[in-house]
Structure 1
Amino acid sequence: MMTQVSVSSIFNVLHFFPIGIVVGIISALLGIGGGLLYVPALSAIGASPIQSVATSLVAITFGAISGTIQNWQMNLLKIEAVLLLTFPAMLTTEIGVGIANALPSKWLLLSFAGLQITAIWLINLKTQLQQENKKAVKIDLSQSNVNSTPILKTQGIGLIAGVLSGLFGVGGGIVMVPLQVLLLKMPIKQAVQTSYGAIILISLWAVSHYVIADSTNVLIIPGLMLGLGSLVGANFGARLLPKLSDHLVRFLFTYLLIFLAGYMSFKAFIL
């Protein structure tokens, strides 16, 4: 069982900022949620599996807040839809946190590796749905309001997202976006905007449960530095993305996640 470590024994806290920049660049280039990268990064520099998951939730909140503020300023944020996802997720987040705390470190890492492999399919599905949306006849977004949203399906998506967020330290967007498009027939941009808004409360709620369970599992300052760094990196990555071919992006995306899944599995077997 890997012993828990303090911030000072992991790394000088200032070093988390450039790590966050790298994560932000990769996330923007490959369309990968920060949680899929923060957890391996924290694990690599000495955090325990449970610390990596809990601290990742602190970091991903920054990206969600930034995206939500932009959507709010552009009047693209549908509060009702966000709340329909958020409240069910808050009910199941504690389940994910409980499972993460109960699982042996080895199985938590192996489960996360499984999530990374699943993410290859989910994010490729998201890309496919995005392409189909572009080809389809444009939808009058004024008709895509909460009154026409199947409430039970939306809440079901929230329930799933809550468990994943608490268990793996991801925001839940990895499943919320494709499921909203598939089940709710929501335009993908609106699905992303809604997901961003929901991630803020879901992540903060999950962090609070980790703090209640054991405050040493949440490395607040490293998480803040990672989050701030990722905001800087994401801006750079977004500018670099148009210069890369789609083939190269897909190649890097697929093999990076396969590599990270292999790394997390390796870490699990040497515990």
Structure 2
Amino acid sequence: MQWLLLPVGGVLSGVLAGLFGIGGAILMIPLLITMGAEPVQATATSSLAIVIVALSGTWQNWKMGLLKLRKVLYLGSSALVTAQLGVYLANRFPPHILLICYGILLSSSFYLIGLKKRLVRQGDPVLSKDKSNSGRARVLAAIVTTGGTAGLLAGLLGVSGGVVLVPMQILLLGEPIKVAIQTSLGVTAIAASSACIGHALGGNVLWADGLILGVGGMLGAHFGIRWLPRLSDAVVTFSFRTLLALMSTYIFWRAWLAYATATV
């Protein structure tokens, strides 16, 4: 039964990623926890699946000439480091704390998705023309903050961080929305790869599960992208927020169970 849940869950995760423009970890992690994985194992295995999906999408962008490699490398350099910090914290947090952190991220996505929509409606921002040393320092700080956040989320919670990365690139770096999304995918590939290596060294990755979820997610994302134009914004927004509410409620409930078990 579990081997049926994994491919189906992977495809559904990919469909969600294609429909809502976020990583499939929102479904992968609860699925893995339901199947008996420890929270840190779910985080680690999700990072492996995200590597597969993100690398596939990044390769497609590269072939189409849409990938800004220099921007990806700038942001990804700090993500490499902070991903290892996330791995370190994930291995030391009690299971219920790790679940609470993931639940908080799911809940905060309500605001972040709304912010992303407002930024898209406002159109592409005007890039800063400030060439002074102070202007360069602010840009460098924004790059480190943006990439560092992606790496930390990948290592700690096993998520792609796209729901955070895209608004941060627009707000802090003045990136056009389409460039921000394409760059986010490339940075996600770097951050998730770093996180996956760190977790693998700690023996946390469930390799077979992660590979099945990743391949399924890669296939499902193509269906999600095809279906998205057929759905109204209202339907997509309502469906996404309903899913977030259900998943965050479930994760907080599992956190309470983990805490109750630990204190018995």
> Corresponding residue for 2:175?
186
> Corresponding residue for 1:218?
205
Q: Deviations over 1:215-238 (max 9, x none)?
A: 1x2011111111111122111122
> Corresponding residue for 1:77?
67
> Corresponding residue for 2:114?
124
Alignment of 1:156 with 2:145, yes or no, is: yes
Give the one of 208, 216, 221 matched to 1:229: 216
Which segment drifts farther, 173-182 or 236-245? Answer: 236-245
Q: Distance in 2 between matches of 1:191 and 1:154?
A: 12
User: What amino acid is the match of 1:259?
Assistant: L
User: What amino acid is the match of 2:47?
Assistant: L
Alignment of 1:267 with 2:254, yes or no, is: yes
Q: Deviations over 1:131-153 (max 9, x none)?
A: 2227x79x9xxxxxxx9x92331
Residues 252, 119 of structure 1: CA spacing in aligned structure 2 closer, same or farther, 3 A cutoff?
A: same
For the residue of structure 1 that corresponds to 2:37, the secondary structure is coil
> Corresponding residue for 2:54?
64
> Corresponding residue for 1:20?
10
In 2, are the aligned partners of 1:161 and 1:171 still within 8 Å (CA)?
Answer: yes
Alignment of 1:166 with 2:155, yes or no, is: yes
The size of the alignment, in residue pairs, is 250
For the residue of structure 1 that corresponds to 2:215, the secondary structure is helix
User: What amino acid is the match of 2:45?
Assistant: T
> Corresponding residue for 1:5?
none
Q: Deviations over 1:10-40 (max 9, x none)?
A: 933x642221111111222233321222111
> Corresponding residue for 2:133?
none
Q: TM-score, normalised by structure 2?
A: 0.88
Q: Deviations over 1:85-140 (max 9, x none)?
A: 11111111111111111111011111110000111211221122122227x79x9x
Query: What RMSD over aligned residues (CA atoms) do the two structures have, in Å?
Result: 2.1
Q: Distance in 1 between matches of 2:165 and 2:16?
A: 21
For the residue of structure 1 that corresponds to 2:65, the secondary structure is coil
In 2, are the aligned partners of 1:95 and 1:163 still within 8 Å (CA)?
Answer: yes
Q: Distance in 2 between matches of 1:128 and 1:31?
A: 15
Structure 1 alignment gaps of length 5 or more: 1-9, 140-146
Q: TM-score, normalised by structure 1?
A: 0.86
Q: Distance in 1 between matches of 2:224 and 2:102?
A: 25
Q: Distance in 2 between matches of 1:33 and 1:124?
A: 17
Q: Distance in 1 between matches of 2:167 and 2:228?
A: 22
Q: Distance in 2 between matches of 1:35 and 1:232?
A: 15
